[in-house]
Amino acid sequence: MEKYFLDAQDLTKTFPAPKGGDPLTVFENQSFGINKGEFICIIGHSGCGKSTILNVLAGLDEATSGVVLMDGREVAGPSLDRGVVFQHYSLLPWISSLRNITFAVRARWPSWRKEQVLHHSMKYLDMVGLAGAESRKPSQLSGGMRQRVSIARAFAIEPKLLLMDEPFGALDALTRGIIQEELMKIWEQTNQTVFMITHDVDEAILLADRILLMTNGPYAHIAESVIIDIPRHRERTEIIHHPNYYPIRNHLVEFLVKRSKELANPEMRTQVEPRETRKRVYPPNVNPAADVNSSSNKIIDLEKHKA
């Protein structure tokens, strides 16, 4: 079996019942792997457990059962080896943009000299296009600029794994596109390993090497690992003209509109067996662009299919 840089093995998360009701199993016996340097997106409807999985990978939450191994070691609690970018910035409001980054860098490398910390922090602030705004506090920045500071801070500590929970969800479309480009630029320079939650199909195709598709909950599961067979470097204005773009997009939309519900039958839940005897199952890799034909180039509009 292939050895992954991050290996999530048989993860189950069950929340206890409130006042005598039935417990809620969000997902059960889910396994997946991430290779070093991969950019992975995960997509699924609200309530399927995406954020819970991210929190387990970050060490901010514990799975009811199962284990996460990263670089051969078990994830047990938060660590500077894993950086997290949340949807709502999470900056310290009383200090400047630069000091928000130096605060994290000093925690990562406490033996560094002040000049070394400043130089390193400014490098990442410049990467996200905020050179000149280093003395501004978060309240003096736009939403997009705050998120760029948050991204710069996460990259600046050079974590082994970067986790992003819908980091662009609160931004307008224009700002979102600009920050997507900044994120791709930094990722290509650092070869960072990234796990990102998104609800945006086009964003996932632009950014990801693979996209994990989750069925609806309860007892949600990762049904497929979709390969994004489009070369890098990718540009938002050019990617839509690649012959593989719409076959991939249509496959993702069809899953979200139809198959995520069809595959979400709780009666199809995994049989509970002892972990040591149960066969671990990873989601199959699927390449929708492997058999490109004329009918697959039809555009599916996700907005028209929303419930």
Query: Is residue 85 included in any domain, yes or no?
Result: no
Rounded (10°) CA dihedral 84, 85, 91, 92: 0
Cα 119 from Cα 102, distance rounded (Å): 9
DSSP assigned state of 61: S
Which CATH number do you get for residue 278?
3.40.50.300
pLDDT band per the 50, 70, 90 thresholds, residue 52: very high
Q: Using 50, 70 and 90 to split pLDDT, how confident is the model at 215? A: very high
For residues 113 and 111, give the distance between their C-alpha atoms in angstroms, rounded to a whole number. Answer: 7
Q: Identify whether 291 is part of a domain.
A: yes
Closest-CA residue to 266 (of 218, 209, 214, 205): 218
Mean pLDDT to the nearest integer, 11-23: 83
Report the mean per-residue pLDDT for the chain.
86
Rounded CA separation 131/151 (Å): 14
pTM score: 0.86
DSSP state of 223: E
Structural domain count of the chain = 1
- Token couple for 188: 């290509």
Residue 128 lies in a domain: no
Residue 180's region, left for phi above 0, alpha for psi from -120 to 50, else beta, is: alpha
Would you say residue 10 lies in a domain?
yes
| pLDDT (mean) for 180-184 | 85
Instruction: Tell me the two tokens of residue 71.
Output: 């670089």
Distance CA 214, CA 245 (A): 21
On whether residue 130 sits in a domain, the answer given is no
Round to whole Å and give the CA distance between 17 and 119: 51
Task: Summarize the confidence of residues 15-31 as an average pLDDT.
Answer: 84
The structure tokens listed for 20 are 């005598």
Angle between helices 173-190 and 114-127 (to 10 degrees): 130
The answer to whether residue 54 is domain-embedded is yes
Range of the domain at 213: 6-78+193-305
Q: Which range has the top average pLDDT, 70-79, 243-252, 298-307?
A: 243-252
Q: pLDDT-based confidence at 274, cuts 50/70/90?
A: low
Residue 136 lies in a domain: no
3-state secondary structure of 210: strand
Establish if 124 belongs to a structural domain: no
Could you write out the DSSP letters of every residue in 143-181?
A: HHHHHHHHHHHHHHT--SEEEEESTTTTS-HHHHHHHHH
Residue 185 burial by CB count (10 A; 0-12/13-18/19+): exposed, middle or buried?
middle
